[in-house]
Structure 1
Amino acid sequence: MEEYRVANRELAPMGFKKIDWAWHAMPVLRFLEEREKERLPLQGVTVACCLHLEAKTACLLQVLHRLGATVAAAGSNPLSTQDDVCAALASSGVHVFSHHGMSAAEYGENLRRCLAWNPQVLIDDGGDLVALIHEERRDLIPRLRGGCEETTTGIKRLKAMEAEGALQFPMLAVNDGLSKHLFDNRYGTGQSVWDAILRTTNLLVAGRVVVVVGYGWCGKGVAKRASGLGARVAVVEIDPHRALEAFMDGFEVLDLRQAAAVGDVFVTVTGNTQVLREEHFRLMKDGALLANAGHFDVEVCIPHLKALSVEVWDSRPQIRSYRMEDGRTLHLLGEGRLVNLAAGDGHPVEIMDLSFALQLLSALHVHQNDLTPGVHKVPEELDRRVARAKLDAMGLRLETLTPEQETYLASWRE
């Protein structure tokens, strides 16, 4: 088995500096490591991870390794992989397989190299490790304790597998934990998407019409931050309750054809395919910006863009421009991949401290308990433990109920 496959081991010093910067802003992860390190709870366990390989993720991978695990990691996105961080991970004992800009074929091979370490626990981002095991490495299933999934898209795939009776081992739906989706999806996505768009385009947001397609937790964050930057925000939804919520939050609600004609910036956050497609591209303004904040690069239909274009070029790093026959030009950010990671550094460190702390506790829970095959909720106590630790780290205190109040809430008599 290969120990690692990275672009350049000599980049490790810069990678270690990035990891150190992130580590000092992750008090919950540090607290959990300090509490667990004496007993080495993952001694003898192999953990396979498919995650965005950047500095914050590296902190989680190193904690898993220091708690005794053999860790094999593959990058979940070719543009979010940071080569210096991968080099640092390889130098610190993590078996990492990824490089920035890897092809789809290389991505698949890196997942296979990761699984060659015969894991007992998985940490997945998008469901590709789980799918590959069921399609090619079913021999691993008897030894798997289970795993964790941290994205909305991945959980949708897992639930589809469960509904078909295909999912053969337990997976914890980490994304559905309160410490994950209330903060990571809303505040993390909200800030990091606009950080990436602003640094990539160097254009003003105030006064522009921003179209947010999808008003789940991620969409709420993107819309709120766009509004805070002075944009006029329109939301596109298929769900009536979410559409009403967007309207009552102060945003215009349009269907996608209406929005296509008026939008200056489009951000897809749906987890679906071909969300922006030919019929919408034909209606868009000259100079419209197209960005995706959903997991896979299928929400903006790139084949349709190419078919409509007479010329394609890179205007700036991470901006590909498509000129239509009528002279209009549409600009795609980050190759249609997760814009906050493809064109930025992803979520703020303090947000990922919550998410990766929940991932760590969930991985320990999967390893230490016999769970039935299927999709499981993260135990509430684990979720609350992460939130309490974050409050403590920030110096914030909770109110406590008096005995009389507890009795009152537990009684049905007046």
Structure 2
Amino acid sequence: MQTMQMENITQHDVADLGLAEAGRKRINWAAREMPVLKLIEDRFREEKPLQNILIAACLHVTTETARLVEVLQTAGATIRLCASNPLSTQDDVAAALVQHGIAVFAKRGEDPQAYHLHLHKAADIMPAVTLDDGADLIAMLHRERTDLLPLVLGGTEETTTGVMRLRAMAKNGVLRYPVIAVNDAMTKHLFDNRYGTGQSTIDGLLRATNVLIAGKVFVVAGYGWCSRGIAMRAKGEGANVVVTEINPLRALEAAMDGYRVMPMNEAAKIGDIFVTATGDINVIDRPHFERMKDDAILANSGHFNVEIDVQSLSEMSCNIAHPRPHVTTFTMDDGRKLQLLAEGRLVNLSAAEGHPSAVMDMSFANQALCVEYIVAQSRLHRLPDRIHRVPVAIDEQVAKVKLEAMSLKIDTLTEQQQQYQSAWETGT
């Protein structure tokens, strides 16, 4: 395995190291709600399963991410961390991690050039394992740092968008190391995507605007797990929820969940609040802007800032203003105003703090255990260069420990029940 000189660990590019104490307090607060990761950390401290493993991580630099990278550090790994979104970095957390001996290259509001440079800084560790949230690091390694690919034992991907990109790479035959799709774990997408995105999106929307959601027409683009959570929470706030979809099965499910379903062209005329979470480009674009009501609010919870066509919105505007943090007002030629939140980037991380720690506990437990799995497998035989599912044993282990942490108990099959399930003779 590769090793790295200790003097390199202190390299960093963060906004202000003076924020470290405040960041440490917030990390400790998050840790209270992450008992599964704590149990893994306790085992890692004794076993050191990642001793001398070099890890490059491209993740949202939040309190929850801090706990993950500290757990990996406890396991013996050396880590370089960069941001997976220019507006999601919490500068106090970045400073606290540097103080903890982790090389961090992330500043809130960094421009595209700095963002790209930080990807390279993370890759300079010559990683044996990569962690991604959106696949920017993996894509960069395959485009620009191909010399490092033979060193990589494997990687993990956290998001729906990232897994979509990786599937495209695999389909095109260009993926050159194995990646575990953590996003597809049951203990990830059923909880993180639904309950985490649902709550944090509403949180970001309210922090940015302080509007009353009750009684408003709330349009949710897509009905995947993230959108399900957003729709559910908006409905809980008293909104009249409309869902737009391209998939007939998901559209049917949304209708049977009690939501109105219609094309975006129709929803654009009646919506007060719009939130995208599809992973695709130009979900809301020029024809929709032309139909929208005065003061319609536009927000995105998909990973990349491409779901709302911000360029067209700018071209259609005669004036652009910033009435409050995280809000940009675009005035149309006819006098209508459209309110864009967080520059079209992830509203839950740009205008709020991201997912609650309790739900990220499961997602990051999956990440930590999958990194351990990748390294352990490599000592036997390297995993094939393709996308892998999270092993069922890891998924079930995370769920079991989370139940225990919540003081919840479940039934077990009796011997008779086990025999019945494995037999075929008994019928009507």
Taking structure 2 as the reference length, what is the TM-score of the superposition? 0.96
The letter of the residue matching 1:366 is I
Residue matched to 1:160: 168
Residue matched to 1:86: 94
The letter of the residue matching 2:390 is V
Asked if 1:259 corresponds to 2:262, the answer is no
* Per-residue deviation, 1:341: 0.2
The letter of the residue matching 2:29 is W
In 1, Cα distance between equivalents of 2:62 and 2:389? 27
Secondary structure of residue in 1 paired with 2:284: coil
* Per-residue deviation, 1:24: 1.4
In 2, Cα distance between equivalents of 1:193 and 1:298? 17
Matches within 5 A, 1:190-229: 190-229=198-237
Residue matched to 1:348: 356
Residue matched to 1:373: 385
1:399 aligns with one of 392, 398, 411: 411
In 1, Cα distance between equivalents of 2:208 and 2:172? 42
Residue matched to 1:315: 323
Secondary structure of residue in 1 paired with 2:266: helix
Secondary structure of residue in 2 paired with 1:38: helix
* Per-residue deviation, 1:368: 1.1
* Per-residue deviation, 1:67: 1.2
Matches within 5 A, 1:84-163: 84-163=92-171
Q: Deviations over 1:43-92 (max 9, x none)?
A: 10011100000111101011111111101000111111011110000110
Secondary structure of residue in 2 paired with 1:274: coil
In 2, Cα distance between equivalents of 1:44 and 1:121? 11
The letter of the residue matching 1:408 is Y
Q: Deviations over 1:389-414 (max 9, x none)?
A: 00001110110000110111111111
Asked if 1:242 corresponds to 2:254, the answer is no
Gaps of 5+ in 1: none
Q: Deviations over 1:108-153 (max 9, x none)?
A: 0000000001110011000011101110111111111101000000
For the Cα contact (< 8 Å) 2:44–2:74, is it kept in 1? no
Secondary structure of residue in 2 paired with 1:37: helix
Matches within 5 A, 1:30-109: 30-109=38-117
The letter of the residue matching 2:18 is E
Asked if 1:15 corresponds to 2:27, the answer is no
Q: Deviations over 1:212-246 (max 9, x none)?
A: 00000001000010000000000000000000000
For the Cα contact (< 8 Å) 2:44–2:71, is it kept in 1? no
The letter of the residue matching 1:339 is V
In 1, Cα distance between equivalents of 2:63 and 2:306? 26
In 2, Cα distance between equivalents of 1:352 and 1:261? 36
In 2, Cα distance between equivalents of 1:141 and 1:56? 28
* Per-residue deviation, 1:36: 2.2
How many residues were matched structurally? 414
* Per-residue deviation, 1:27: 0.3
The letter of the residue matching 2:394 is L
Taking structure 1 as the reference length, what is the TM-score of the superposition? 0.99
In 2, Cα distance between equivalents of 1:103 and 1:191? 28
In 2, Cα distance between equivalents of 1:352 and 1:379? 19
In 2, Cα distance between equivalents of 1:254 and 1:166? 38
In 1, Cα distance between equivalents of 2:158 and 2:354? 14
Residue matched to 2:296: 288
Residue matched to 2:420: 408
In 2, Cα distance between equivalents of 1:319 and 1:233? 22
Residue matched to 2:188: 180
Residue matched to 1:325: 333
Residue matched to 1:390: 402
Secondary structure of residue in 1 paired with 2:291: coil
Matches within 5 A, 1:268-307: 268-307=276-315
In 2, Cα distance between equivalents of 1:310 and 1:365? 55
Give the alignment's Cα RMSD to 1 decimal.
0.7
In 1, Cα distance between equivalents of 2:319 and 2:74? 51
Secondary structure of residue in 1 paired with 2:398: helix
In 2, Cα distance between equivalents of 1:354 and 1:273? 29
Secondary structure of residue in 2 paired with 1:282: helix
Secondary structure of residue in 1 paired with 2:46: coil
Q: Deviations over 1:13-32 (max 9, x none)?
A: 00100101001111000011
For the Cα contact (< 8 Å) 2:30–2:63, is it kept in 1? yes
The letter of the residue matching 1:101 is G
The letter of the residue matching 1:383 is D
Gaps of 5+ in 2: 1-7
